[in-house]
Amino acid sequence: MAICFVKTMGDVKLLYILGQCMNIKKSQRCGLCVAILSVNSISFAQSNTQIEEVSVTGHKREYQTEEVSGSIGFNVSPLDVPISIDVINQDILKDQQVNNVDDALRNVSGVTKFKTGNGGEEQFAIHGFSASQSIYKDGARINNAQNSTNIPSTETANIEKVEVLKGPSAILYGQGEPGGTINYVTKKPEFESFHEVELLTGSDSFSKIEFDSTGAIGNSDQFAYRIVGSYEDSDSFRDFVERERFLLNPSISYLNNTGGILTASVEYIDDDFTTDRSQILSGDFINGFDYDSSVLDTEQFYGIAGFNNRSNAESTRVSLTYNQPINDFYSIDLLASYTKNEKTNFDSTPLFATPATIGLLAQIGFPAPVNLGQVLLPDGTVLIQPRFGEGEGETTYLQANNLFEFSSGSLAHKLLLGISYEELETNSFTTTGLNIATYNIFSNQRSFVPLAAGIPTDEVFLNPVGTDIKIKSEEISLNVQDLIEINEQFTVLLGGRFVDYESNANLGGDEAFDDTDFTGRLGVIYKPAENISLYASYAQGYLPATGSLDVNGNQIDSETNSQFEIGLKANVLNERLLFTVALYDAERKDVASFDAAATQQSNFNVFDTIGRVESRGLDVQIIGKITDAWRIVAGYAYIDSEIDTVTTSIFGGVLDLDGREQAGIPENSANLWSVYEFTNGFGIGGGLFYQDDTFASAENNTEFDGFTQVDAVAYYKHNLWKFQFNAINLTDEEYQLAQGGVAEDLFASVRVGTSVPRSFVFSVSKEF
């Protein structure tokens, strides 16, 4: 990829970007980038005078965010809400050269990364509870249990900041686990002219171009635009794994004469990728499992070469937002969002030995004995099951918030009255292969084993008969939230939300599960000084147990959850550094628990709402600047998570999880990232990301060692140019990650995430 610049009378104009593309699809995408950037070069020339006046401070970075919005419902200082809210802004993302949201969220204490989903979708936990169903973009849900397999991985080029609200968030967002909510805030049009192009290259044939252009349209003071785009082409440290991802996000804003602003945005993501199941465990069901690094290698690919790399995910999201002040104390916020996701997933997964596969091995003359549950067979062979899935999901989200700011006697109110509607519809088809692939880790040979006579042995042969699933759910909510300032020292937050939820998921036909819930929130803030706040809060939430049936075949009641939290927030060092510490006690109640006795007498799996999971812990977060040149983000989390009165159906029968810890949740974790910027434009920094031992599954027999990952950065800025070098996993630390929600080691043995080996990224960017 080459860049051509022409310098005329001190004005640097970007004329074009010429991509050397490997196929037609890439050529089309590169051409689109060229066209967009060429058009934008006109606006670059128009703002020449302004560009000449910009100094090196155009690159000045600030880690602390002065206000939070999407996670609380209105703009307010973090010190003025009795809730733990952490914000990872654009400057942190740029310093760390974040290319995926996994790396962004490691900066937030109490957030745990799981093994990435099979189709590339992100998997996280907050305070020990899964947050994978509580991921939002600009306030609208983009992921939940019913639609997770259709979602592409998140592109970070158009993300302005990531807000993490810890604790139940049902007041604003409805259903979800008690850990918290993740909200990606995208870049919006600005009237001040800004244009940037960045090229990145790095290890494993990684290359990427990003561009961002915003400003007023012509000389208008009412219309502004923004166009953000990116194109990535990369391989992986793992054999046969590659990715090609394209993002285009145009948006336009209209500012009317009464101060109202309407913004329309279209986000399009096209993601061609190799489905990667990651690693396996050695051992078996009888003797136990472990990760044997003497024979297992992170470069090994436990998929089918030439099959898994045909996967594709496509997402189109259209959103409209409108904010209109009506008078001095009343304004209205409207949001309409529609997302359509389509995914074709060519997948394959390692198999553990069952009586059926042991019999198959005997038929083909496998000489060595095989134990039940064994994945890595004695001669180094791994059996791999081809899988194919395709589906599409549509999500519609509508929200209207009425915002009031007024005084009642000596009380000052920030009042939110809202109504929201969410509809999800998803259709999917899945099937498996009529032959099985084999991979030998010692000889590196791959082949196919037929499951019946006449099945080809040189390629995947899919069963035309599979499983069709159609799911539709609707949720309508009414909510109220009032932040009441009693005096300069005391503030109270009160809130409640009423929800009506309906779904036909897994119940067949048009039969629907209908449930109503009410959740509340109460918080108190005491400010002994203007820059210090002490707070206590209690919040409730709920999560529909969709698809789990009781002994009578009826849908069981929704889960409920709650959290009590106390904390301290302080803005210190002349308000350059925000310090937050919180203690919390959260629980899930009415969790679906497998009823083995009732299941034996029925023709379906029976559940009862007797389960409970509790998580207690400590969160510490520091973000901001120690001096004007020295910025920092750091955190520590202690999580004591325990499962109570939950049983589940497993391969060997029934597993009682009482007293066990959840898969992949570390008791202790910490993060530190710090950068020092010299006056001559040089900057240098780095970070440590640590977590201690975790269990591979809730069975708590197989344990993954803790790890410390070391990253580093160095950059140089001159005028509006920036050259940056990032080193990731500098010490080449090797570690494993669990998949969230796995109950037993047998299933964990084919669902093991692995670290990315030492890698490097170099980037050059230019602002206009």
Same domain, 138 and 34: no
Residue 598 belongs to some domain of the structure: yes
The separation between the first and the last C-alpha atoms of the chain, rounded to the nearest angstrom, is 21
What confidence tier does 27 reach under pLDDT thresholds 50, 70, 90?
very low
Give the mean model confidence (pLDDT) for residues 615-638. Answer: 96
Same domain, 14 and 112: no
Give the mean model confidence (pLDDT) for residues 540-567. Answer: 82
| Whole-number pLDDT of residue 605 | 74
What radius of gyration, in Å, describes the C-alpha atoms of the chain?
27
384 alpha carbon, distance to own chain's centre: 28
Residue 73 belongs to some domain of the structure: no
Give the mean model confidence (pLDDT) for residues 518-539. Answer: 94
Structural domains counted in the chain: 2
Element (H, E) at 90: helix 90-95
Cα–Cα distance between 271 and 425 in angstroms, integer? Answer: 21
Cα–Cα distance between 95 and 724 in angstroms, integer? Answer: 9
Are the C-beta atoms of 341 and 147 separated by less than 8 Å? yes
Residue 68 belongs to some domain of the structure: no
Give the mean model confidence (pLDDT) for residues 165-184. Answer: 80
Same domain, 83 and 18: no
Query: Among 38, 53, 68, where does a domain finish?
Result: 53
| Whole-number pLDDT of residue 260 | 95
Per-residue b or e along 23-59, where b marks 16 or more CB atoms closer than 10 Å to that residue's CB? eeebeebbeebeebbeebbebbeebeeebeeeeeeeb
Give me the domain span that covers residue 552: 78-767
Residue 72 belongs to some domain of the structure: no
Query: Among 53, 68, 95, where does a domain finish?
Result: 53
Are the C-beta atoms of 134 and 176 separated by less than 8 Å? yes
| Whole-number pLDDT of residue 59 | 53
Residue 60 belongs to some domain of the structure: no
**Residue 692 maps to which CATH number?**
2.40.170.20
Full-model pTM: 0.88
Q: Is 172 exposed, middle or buried (0-12, 13-18, 19+ CB in 10 A)?
A: buried
Q: Is 488 exposed, middle or buried (0-12, 13-18, 19+ CB in 10 A)?
A: exposed
Task: Give pLDDT tens digits for 33-86.
Answer: 434 333 333 333 333 333 333 333 445 678 988 777 655 677 788 888 898 889
Same domain, 549 and 665: yes
Higher per-residue pLDDT: 259 or 170: 259
Residue 70 belongs to some domain of the structure: no
Are the C-beta atoms of 518 and 560 separated by less than 8 Å? no
| Amino acid letter, residue 665 | I
Alpha helices in 113-212 (DSSP H): 170-173
Same domain, 129 and 49: no
Cα–Cα distance between 582 and 33 in angstroms, integer? Answer: 46
Same domain, 25 and 153: no
Same domain, 349 and 271: yes
Same domain, 97 and 220: yes
Phi, psi torsion values for 148, nearest 5 degrees:
-65, -35
Same domain, 701 and 573: yes
Give the mean model confidence (pLDDT) for residues 315-328. Answer: 95
Least confident segment among 95-104, 167-176, 293-302:
167-176
| Whole-number pLDDT of residue 120 | 62
Same domain, 131 and 272: yes
| Whole-number pLDDT of residue 149 | 57
| Whole-number pLDDT of residue 69 | 66
Residue 575 belongs to some domain of the structure: yes
What confidence tier does 11 reach under pLDDT thresholds 50, 70, 90?
very low
Same domain, 39 and 138: no
Q: Give the mean pLDDT of the chain.
A: 85
Task: Give pLDDT tens digits for 54-67.
Answer: 333 445 678 988 77
Same domain, 118 and 210: yes
Residue 146 has pLDDT above 70, yes or no: no
